[in-house]
Each structure stands twice: as C-alpha cells, then as structure tokens.
C-alpha cells in the first residue's frame, strides 16, 4: 500500500516545534474546535491526507492531532481538536493571534490516489470525520477520478456532528448519510449505528476502497460489516491511535504489535491489522 515515502537520507530528529499563529478559531460542537494555523516561518508543510502533527501548547504539553485541511499543498494547517484533557483544552482555548508549536507532518497517509477509479466509502465515527475530511476534499476536487462516493457518518447526538454546514456542499457531488446514536424529537434524520448506513449505500464491493476512522471499536465493527458486504480486507483502511510522545519513532510508546504507529501508521489496511485487533491489550 502506498504510504509516505521513507527517504534514504536520515533527517535529524525534529523535536523542536515550529511556531504557527492561530488565524481562525471556530467552535464545532460543545467540546470540539477547528483551528486554522498560519506558519510564521516559511510556506508551511505539505501534508498528506491522514497525516498528523504534534501540536504544542506553550508550557502545557504536546499531543498528536490529525490534520483535517486540504491535502497535498503547502499552506495553513487546519486542525479539528476535541477537548479531552489539559493539553487539548489549552489548544482549543487558543484565540486568533496566539501561537502554537507544530512538529510534522508525520505518519502514513490515506492511499486515496491509489484508489483512483474505485468506488469510495468514507466511514466516520465521532471525531473520526476530522482525519477523513482531507479524503473528502480530495474526492470532491478530483471527482471524475472516482466511481460512486459516499460519506457515512455517525456521532453520539446531533449536537456532536462535525462540519454540518459543509454537508450540503458535499452532497452536490458525493452521497452524505448521517446517523446519531440517540436524539430528541427535533432531529429529522437517522438514529442508529453507523454500520446501518451501509445497506443503503451504492458501491461495487470488488471495486471499492473504504476509509474508516473513529473509536477503535467502531472501526472494528465497521470493518466487519464491510467484509460481510464483500470488500477484501486490503481495501479497508483504518486509522489507528496510541499514546505518542515523540511522533518520530524514537520513544517507543506508539507500538502496535510489530509496528510503530507514528512511522508505519496511523493508516493501515485491515488485512494487516486484523490479527492485532483480535488480541486484547496488545
């Protein structure tokens, strides 16, 4: 599977964050914000879809965050961040004008170019839509290069749905189906697990690539549902997450079996992951 190319030349360790200024800050849900960051030095990195940056809030700490902006060209870095601890809370609280430190991009990318000509399923759970948004943007940009394309998206409640103002735009050229786990009477849409959206999607199983991102258990169930629908395990891509301290393959924390997620992932084909996902507490 095509992933970020590993160069022969060894790059000296990148443990020093580069300064980026918060240009925009938008609240998406009660606990999620999207920040647009402008580089203070240079044109900004070119980021593959699904890659992540190590994001540093001065004096607080650093966490890995997947990039959710348009892939492949240098420019502002878009991060959708969920506030779950001290560091992410500090990042989410960063008003325009404040500086954050970024290292990266690191990790392997969604092989969206290798999927050219395929039908595409983008299956997201919760915050998992953020690392998948670059895939959506790429497909929208290169629509003729793909067959049918559908975004299947599930979240906890209607208030937790991301990028709802963009869904109408997306719907012009790709299918977007949304469901929530539970809702009140004002919600006119679907209530149910995200895998329930599969039967209604049009795709040729033998010619489909599926990009799946969300909590690990949701990805496990989604992968199984896709296998039941006839997709080959190599055509199902997942984005894995583990604790990261360095992001550059030196601290050892992000090990998943024989791989390091910062280096060999976070994007993996299900065919590779399946035996590891079966072992509890691996």
Site for other proteins in 211-230 (CB under 8 A): 214-218, 221
Residue with tokens 């998943």: 256
Nearer Cβ to other proteins (207/229): 229
Identify the H or E element spanning 100.
Answer: strand 99-106
Q: Choose, by CB under 8 A, the member of 37, 151, 237, 260 that binds other proteins.
A: 260
> Of 54-62, 135-143, 167-175, 231-239, which segment contacts other proteins by CB under 8 A?
54-62
Site residue total, other proteins (CB under 8 A) = 77
Which of 245, 243, 250 has the alpha carbon at shortest distance from 11? 250
**Alpha carbons 257 and 160: distance in angstroms, whole number:** 32
**Binding of residue 1 to other proteins (CB under 8 A):** no
Q: Rounded distance, CA 206 to CA 70, Å?
A: 28
Could you say which residues in the range 158-217 bind other proteins, by CB under 8 A?
A: 160, 179, 181-185, 187-193, 195-196, 199-200, 214-217
* Pick 42 or 97: Cβ nearer other proteins: 97
62 lies in the site for other proteins, by CB under 8 A: yes
Indicate whether 95 belongs to the interface with other proteins (CB under 8 A).
Answer: no
Say how far apart CA 226 and CA 215 lie, in whole Å.
16
Site for other proteins contains 25 (CB under 8 A): no
Tell me which DSSP letter residue 172 carries. T
Of residues 17 and 50, the one with the C-beta less far from other proteins: 17
Would you call 186 helix, strand, or coil by DSSP? coil
Alpha carbons 201 and 152: distance in angstroms, whole number: 9
* Residue with Cβ nearer other proteins (209 or 272): 272
**2, 15, 93, 114: residue in contact with other proteins (rule CB under 8 A):** 15
Largest alpha-carbon pair distance within the chain? Answer: 59
What's the Cα-to-Cα distance from 147 to each of 115, 136, 140, 203, rounded to whole Å? 10, 13, 12, 8
Least Cβ distance, residue 261 to other proteins (angstroms)? 11
């Amino acid at each position: 599977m095509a992933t970020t190319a590993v160069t022969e030349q060894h790059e000296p360790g990148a443990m020093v964050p580069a300064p980026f200024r918060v240009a925009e800050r938008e609240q998406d849900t009660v606990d999620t914000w999207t920040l647009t960051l402008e580089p203070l030095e240079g044109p900004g990195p070119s980021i593959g879809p699904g890659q992540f940056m190590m994001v540093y809030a001065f004096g607080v700490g650093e966490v890995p965050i997947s990039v959710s902006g348009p892939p492949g060209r240098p420019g502002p870095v878009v991060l959708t961040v969920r506030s779950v601890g001290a560091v992410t809370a500090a990042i989410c609280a960063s008003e325009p004008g404040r500086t954050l430190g970024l290292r990266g991009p690191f990790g392997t990318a969604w092989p969206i170019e290798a999927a050219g000509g395929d039908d595409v399923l983008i299956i997201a759970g919760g915050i998992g839509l953020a690392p998948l948004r670059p895939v959506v943007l790429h497909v929208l940009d290169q629509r003729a290069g793909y067959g049918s394309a559908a975004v299947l998206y599930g979240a906890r409640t209607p208030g937790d749905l991301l990028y709802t103002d963009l869904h109408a735009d997306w719907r012009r050229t790709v299918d977007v189906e949304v469901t929530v786990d539970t809702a009140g009477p004002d919600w006119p849409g679907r209530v149910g697990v995200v895998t329930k959206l599969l039967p209604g999607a049009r795709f040729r199983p033998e010619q489909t690539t599926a990009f799946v991102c969300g909590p690990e258990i949701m990805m496990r169930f989604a992968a199984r549902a896709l296998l039941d629908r006839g997709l080959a395990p190599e055509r199902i891509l997942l984005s894995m997450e583990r604790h990261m301290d360095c992001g550059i393959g030196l601290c050892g924390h992000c090990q998943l079996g024989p791989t390091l997620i910062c280096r060999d992932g976070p994007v993996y084909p299900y065919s590779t992951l399946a035996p590891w996902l079966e072992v509890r507490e691996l």
